[in-house]
Structure 1
């Protein structure tokens, strides 16, 4: 590919961006589209009236200025800590690739361009390979420039990573300390409650925690089977009872026919049956909760520290019973997965892994097709009738410079929904954990298919034969990556620039709004947007571009300016979307930053590995020797960050939780917190059955004694049951153990 083809692709994408940005600046001013482009503001009860004037139909860049002026505090207030972390990833990318672009443009690009003694053409007619490290001859003394640039990029990236990690860690601590009392801090999720034929799950759980956590246990709330399947089962049980009652009625009718007053007797019988059916009908609508109980429950504790300790330690000697985890926030609970048996989770993870790998292999087909488009000689052999058309210069530039990346982007649109489905099947108990898992899957998928498969020519056969051993991998990558750098540059244009234009336009919500407003004629209240930020789509895209930027920085520095423009546009577009469009329903507390940090470190290590291979191919022992310390230092830096910052993202510290508990006691709002806990985790799909829930689900102990006399008696019985017994009573002993999952 030559510079002209790259400029053609850049021109097409610039035109698409300008047109869509102009349309957006006009459409956002229309009152009929306010629910599409200002969904978050509508949810916050802002005004939706826009004055009618000529300015509504004139494109303007005012939204760019407003997005630039937004402060981090506003983003934190409106989008949560996850939104701040997302913007920080963009800021980090802008900083590190600004440094990379300056260094590589000044030091590396001239060395690459003048690496071979050749007659250069006019710049637009030059091949892009001239600007890559392929153009540097073997044994060149100028390869020290590439090694020095790699050092500067690595040191800059690690320094910026450290300060960003430290800053985001402090933000997370402030987020935990400064937020109002969070119900999830007092709550744990208990799964795999042992089954007992003598009592319900609710009674078993109450007996266990009242005895083993007597001083800290507050109450609990059982989780019930819900969903469409359960509703159908409940309806079927109700129908069966009605049919059974009707059959009993027909069977009993002759017994009343022998009475002296058959008419009055029949009426009396019907009245009795009606009254009976009335009672049973109400009971059927509120089926026995013990039959609908799952072996899972939310358990509430009197303090945050007690909940943390109960969640982190094993409750019994059998780790498969009484499994405890910190509960998600109430709005973050993914109710569909709460009732999944704990023993099924490992099977689900294996199935999900196998399905993801199979999906990756199936995706080799479109990637192979895309690779065929980048090589005209192969394309002409496959489709001889296109030979004449492909000789046209403009068609040639579009086919090689624009079409392959666009086709790949269209195929990749199907990846995030599939990975979100896989993450749901995997068994995540929270929506944020599901989105985080989907984010990792999409990231691995795109790095593999966009980078590695394209580097290894996109065919399974060539992937298997591209290297004979693992030791040959760096050398083979060193040959293949510079050759594919031009495709990666066009991919940044198509998947980067154009995707931002489509993101700000919100094409699908806009079409849905038009259909609902002008065809279905829905009312204004039914048109509110309810979109949450697609972290599982956008975070992998940014990290993929960062991976490509680090990998190709010294190999093909011509990519860096295009990449930098993307990060600047993304910074403005996503700030606008966070403030105006997306509604924050839940927050993971910045859990996406460790993913970004790990991916960046992997990108640095991979770029250093390829640099070692390139310097080896170019027979530069000096550059190779100076590059060897870089991976070692990068790994040491990564290990330090893992030990210093990562524990803050995994669990809350005892010091902070105890200080928060004492602050609540000092302010006298402990009772208020306890009252809010009982209503925080409401399973909306449940049928109302207040009697059973108040009897068991909201059980409390006596506040003065800390443990009721009934619980004391049950505790004594438990101790007696766990003592050694004669052989003839072994069966009863095993049943007592089964209640609490004790394995001796």
Structure 2
């Protein structure tokens, strides 16, 4: 990419940034959009919208940016949980890293590169020169100025490692503090047991109760056997769709819209009331639903959620092999009840194994197929290649502004459009792999997305030609409103409602990703110094990735265990505190049914099943 093309792209993005900023600041003030920009406040009944006309409502303002940064960490912690705080810490950590890197890059390294002579820059025609003129490629081979790059690599690595250590330590202490201050949660007392052996003539529930009352007599509380509900869930989905249709019909002002003819395409036959017809159909679905629920008594999966009287008891059962055969009585930590991904239990072992294989193949195919848009983008950054591919555009491409837009703005736009399609696909892939919770599905999708991005946005661009056009993505001002809308402390207070809490377990992923990026930078630096005829600098850089990996190993030993499990000290202290809590009796009563499949609970959409007050299937209690 040439410099003038980059400046053209920046100018276009500045204009778009101003336009989006203006639209956002006006639209968010409109009463009709309040449920879009502050849905959490509406759901919690904290809406303060006014319907009277105000001229300020039509004028753009920047006050929302200031207010977005006002909430403190304690505000986030109390309203959105530790995960929201960790998310903000990730954003703050990234800003610190990129600020430091920007200062070194812009004020030290860029001038050094700019003053090099390797590419023979003609300063009289600088706007039409490639951005390679500002890279290390322009520094003369063997030049002592390369030692400044060498020093920058060491300094940058040291600063990033210090920031990583500080954040790991801070978030670890927050995680422990939040655990001590938290109320009892079902997942803290529960484990998931799978591979349950069942003798002939007995049931899964009987095996579970017999085993845990024998080997965990002082801590075992109750269990909930998992049942296959995939067919039942289809009936529930149909009932929910019909219920929403009924709500839509009842909201219509003109009753005539409720009537239609029951013949072909509604054009012939007798005239019927859709409201009465759908209500009758809904009642039939509810009756069918109850029959399906009743018939699921024997549809057991050899898995169960087993609850204990204390956190320490649940942890002991989690980490000790339960049976002689390690493939039986397999234990894992239970997710929060609302975080459980119930379709996982409806699939057989063979089906899950096949799905995992299919996902691996599909992921590889998607990653390879994405090279097509990457190659297209690379072609757009080189007009000579574009003219070869599309000779009929040769006249248009000679126009300066058009060529600058095509090489400077269009590549990043196309790449971002294709990239926006990838995250939903990764979610689908991960949901097929047999994870037992939504949080694990999202974690797996994030990992897939990370490696997908590393390969296609970094390596593929490097191998296929020029990577410097990515500077355009970094400098795109239009991304600023998107970032502000998604990650500032306020779309957390006003929009984000957490569905589950991981206790900050996403931070180790950020730490490992940063370490990987540092080591990758070191490997590239070793190669660059070798190519630039400075072998001594290349050799002296080799200890840098080694030291970084040693630092990472220290952090793994020092902090990672805190994110995997709570210590016996924490668990026992918290259990002793619960013994003085009078609400624990009520909590244990609720714990018995906390992990019941929602598909097995009574669902009432019409008055025909209003008499149902209790679940059809109950958990076994010791």
| TM-score, structure 1 as length reference | 0.72
Deviates more, 1:176-185 or 1:385-394: 176-185
Q: How does 1:560-599 map to 2 (within 5 A)?
A: 570=484, 574-599=488-513
User: Corresponding residue for 1:39?
Assistant: 39
Distance 1:79 1:17, change over 3 A: farther
Return the alpha-carbon distance in structure 2 between the equivalents of residues 333 and 281 of structure 1.
Answer: 25
Distance 1:692 1:62, change over 3 A: closer
CA contact (8 A) 1:8 1:397 kept: yes
User: Corresponding residue for 2:467?
Assistant: 484
Distance 1:40 1:673, change over 3 A: same
Q: How does 1:48-67 map to 2 (within 5 A)?
A: 48-50=48-50, 51-67=52-68
Could you tell me which of 544, 548, 558 is aligned with 1:644? 558
Distance 1:589 1:283, change over 3 A: closer
User: Corresponding residue for 1:146?
Assistant: 149
Return the alpha-carbon distance in structure 2 between the equivalents of residues 282 and 32 of structure 1.
Answer: 38
User: Corresponding residue for 1:241?
Assistant: none
The structure whose Rg is larger is 1
Report how far residue 167 of structure 1 moved.
0.4
Do residues 698 (structure 1) and 609 (structure 2) align? no
Gaps of 5+ in 2: 239-286, 603-611
Report how far residue 289 of structure 1 moved.
4.2
Deviates more, 1:604-613 or 1:646-655: 646-655
Report how far residue 354 of structure 1 moved.
1.9
User: Corresponding residue for 2:405?
Assistant: 398
Report how far residue 212 of structure 1 moved.
1.9
Q: Secondary structure at the match of 1:221?
A: strand
User: Corresponding residue for 1:160?
Assistant: 163
User: Corresponding residue for 1:606?
Assistant: 520
CA contact (8 A) 1:200 1:290 kept: no
Return the alpha-carbon distance in structure 1 between the equivalents of residues 289 and 430 of structure 2.
Answer: 39
Deviates more, 1:336-345 or 1:325-334: 336-345
Q: Deviations over 1:573-610 (max 9, x none)?
A: 53331122222111221122111111111111111111
Q: How does 1:266-665 map to 2 (within 5 A)?
A: 284=291, 286-341=293-348, 345-457=352-464, 483-485=466-468, 487-494=469-476, 497-501=477-481, 503=482, 570=484, 574-665=488-579
User: Corresponding residue for 1:87?
Assistant: 88
Report how far residue 38 of structure 1 moved.
0.2
CA contact (8 A) 1:191 1:296 kept: yes
User: Corresponding residue for 2:194?
Assistant: 191
Q: Secondary structure at the match of 1:298?
A: strand
Q: Deviations over 1:455-484 (max 9, x none)?
A: 111xxxxxxxxxxxxxxxxxxxxxx6xx42
Report the count of equivalent residues: 560
CA contact (8 A) 1:192 1:341 kept: no
Return the alpha-carbon distance in structure 2 between the equivalents of residues 359 and 283 of structure 1.
Answer: 42
Return the alpha-carbon distance in structure 1 between the equivalents of residues 75 and 21 of structure 2.
Answer: 24
Q: Secondary structure at the match of 2:566?
A: coil
User: Corresponding residue for 1:712?
Assistant: none
Q: Secondary structure at the match of 1:613?
A: helix
Deviates more, 1:375-384 or 1:645-654: 645-654
Distance 1:113 1:657, change over 3 A: same
Report how far residue 87 of structure 1 moved.
1.3
User: Corresponding residue for 1:72?
Assistant: 73
CA contact (8 A) 1:224 1:686 kept: no
Report how far residue 101 of structure 1 moved.
1.7
Q: Secondary structure at the match of 1:428?
A: coil
User: Corresponding residue for 2:244?
Assistant: none
Report how far residue 325 of structure 1 moved.
1.1
CA contact (8 A) 1:224 1:293 kept: yes
Report how far residue 222 of structure 1 moved.
1.8
Gaps of 5+ in 1: 236-279, 458-479, 504-568, 701-744
CA contact (8 A) 2:114 2:133 kept: yes
Q: Secondary structure at the match of 2:335?
A: coil
Return the alpha-carbon distance in structure 2 between the equivalents of residues 342 and 587 of structure 1.
Answer: 28
CA contact (8 A) 2:8 2:408 kept: yes
Do residues 216 (structure 1) and 130 (structure 2) align? no
Report how far residue 40 of structure 1 moved.
1.5
Do residues 203 (structure 1) and 206 (structure 2) align? yes
CA contact (8 A) 2:592 2:621 kept: no
Return the alpha-carbon distance in structure 2 between the equivalents of residues 374 and 288 of structure 1.
Answer: 63
User: Corresponding residue for 2:109?
Assistant: 108
Distance 1:118 1:60, change over 3 A: closer
Return the alpha-carbon distance in structure 2 between the equivalents of residues 284 and 149 of structure 1.
Answer: 70
User: Corresponding residue for 1:512?
Assistant: none
Q: Secondary structure at the match of 2:303?
A: strand
Return the alpha-carbon distance in structure 2 between the equivalents of residues 153 and 282 of structure 1.
Answer: 62
Return the alpha-carbon distance in structure 2 between the equivalents of residues 297 and 630 of structure 1.
Answer: 49
Return the alpha-carbon distance in structure 1 between the equivalents of residues 334 and 218 of structure 2.
Answer: 20
CA contact (8 A) 1:31 1:48 kept: no
Distance 1:602 1:571, change over 3 A: farther
Return the alpha-carbon distance in structure 2 between the equivalents of residues 604 and 284 of structure 1.
Answer: 59
Return the alpha-carbon distance in structure 1 between the equivalents of residues 16 and 290 of structure 2.
Answer: 62
Return the alpha-carbon distance in structure 1 between the equivalents of residues 472 and 290 of structure 2.
Answer: 65
Do residues 121 (structure 1) and 103 (structure 2) align? no
User: Corresponding residue for 2:17?
Assistant: 17
Return the alpha-carbon distance in structure 1 between the equivalents of residues 311 and 103 of structure 2.
Answer: 50
CA contact (8 A) 1:289 1:692 kept: no
Q: Secondary structure at the match of 2:223?
A: strand
Return the alpha-carbon distance in structure 2 between the equivalents of residues 350 and 681 of structure 1.
Answer: 30
Q: Secondary structure at the match of 1:297?
A: strand
